[in-house]
Structure 1
Amino acid sequence: MHASFIFLTILIFCINDGLTIDCSKSSAKWCRNKRIARICGITEQCKNSVWKKQNQNDKVNFTLYYETLCPDCRQFMTTELWKTYKTIPGIVNITIVPYGNARETYEPKTDLYQFVCQHGPNECLGNLIHTCVLNYYPTIDQYMPFVYCTESTAGDVQTVAIQCAQQSKIDFNKIDACTKSKLGNQLQHIYAAQTDSLQPPHKYVPWITVNDKHTEIMQHEAEKDLIKLICKSYKGSNPPAECKKYL
């Protein structure tokens, strides 16, 4: 554990009702152990996105990199991703990363990151709302109904988010405060770093990985029939009935 801290420069600030973080740029080290994850303020994310995967090696690890106002992302999330979540949750770990083709710059004077998004400021707000929801409601059964609702509903980003929060039993006041805090800014930076560290680098969104790998063949299969791709990638001994026709 001591060696891990050689790679980290950690600053902790109290702001509003949460912690803000400034961790090493090497995101691979943030979930190295529980102490680092706690200091970086991402224990739940590590638990659900990394440690859970390590403990359930037979599950397929599927990650979606997206941005909230991208038409193709919205189509994929409300069809293929939603059907997969509802149909074969027992064989797949789904992780979503709301950042996409955005760009960030660091402002030393404010100690904050500034984000520019492909579809403008409203998309940056939507990404940040999703980021904060994932932080406070980290399990998929908590956040996915909200994500599905926002991605399937047209309209003003803030208004839609409020409506979807009410439907999904999410405290939007907490989410709204997060989007305006240093915590939210730092959490969005984490997703920026995760997206920018992709190998191969992402070229478009939606961008998918299966067990941390990406190929154009996988991408096309996911867009056409994600359930089929997950079923074919599953190596467990007891595939669900929904997979039988693909095996």
Structure 2
Amino acid sequence: MIIWQNGQDECILNSLESCAMNLWSDVGKYYGLIYCFEFLAIEGRSNKWQDCFDQLGLPLASILNCSRGNGTELAKKCIDETTKLNPPHSFLPWVVINNQPIAQDYANFTYFVCKAYKGIAVPDACNPIR
């Protein structure tokens, strides 16, 4: 059994987020959903999570089926990965790039991602940095 630090709302949202990451290969799609969920939580409106699907035009049925099925197990996999971090995370957000935490400099994560990027086609976000 998992006991969520911030209660039942966190459990529901983590399960939905884990299902989205598992079902959709499009990072932008599930990142947008997670971003929306997190802002609802900040605003104290976690119970309005279905609004995020409407706002983003995302399909709800497959995520709900997953969440009711193995959503908690998928969330547990994320928890397990977090507990394996070395060094262990000490605050949030804990951003890791190529197995190296960027610690309190997370606001500059684009710089670190671009610096680590080895591909040929340079992403637009990296053009002013490189």
| TM-score normalised over the length of structure 2 | 0.78
Match of 1:143 among 22, 30, 38: 30
Q: Which letter maps to 1:190? A: K
Distance 1:197 1:140, change over 3 A: same
1:168 matches 2:56:
yes
- In structure 2, the residue matched to 1:221 is 105
Greater Rg by CA: 1
Question: Which structure's residues are more often strand, by fraction?
Answer: 1
Measure how far apart 1:241 and its partner are: 6.0
Choose between structure 1 and 2 for higher RCO, CA contacts under 8 A separated by at least 6 residues. 1
Quote the RMSD (CA, aligned, Å).
Answer: 2.4
Aligned runs of 1:61-210 on 2, under 5 Å? 114-153=1-40, 154-159=43-48, 161-181=49-69, 183-210=70-97
Whether the 8 Å CA contact 2:18–2:71 is kept in 1: the answer is: yes
* Count of residue correspondences: 128
Any unmatched runs of 5+ in structure 1?
1-113
| TM-score normalised over the length of structure 1 | 0.45
Measure how far apart 1:140 and its partner are: 0.9
Distance 1:240 1:126, change over 3 A: closer
How far does the alpha carbon of each residue in 1:134-170 deviate from its partner, in whole angstroms, 9 at most, with x for none? 22223213212222222223343242x2111122233
Question: Which structure's residues are more often helix, by fraction?
Answer: 2
Measure how far apart 1:244 and its partner are: 4.9
Whether the 8 Å CA contact 2:93–2:106 is kept in 1: the answer is: no
Any unmatched runs of 5+ in structure 2?
none
**1-side partners of 2:66 and 2:97: how far apart?**
30
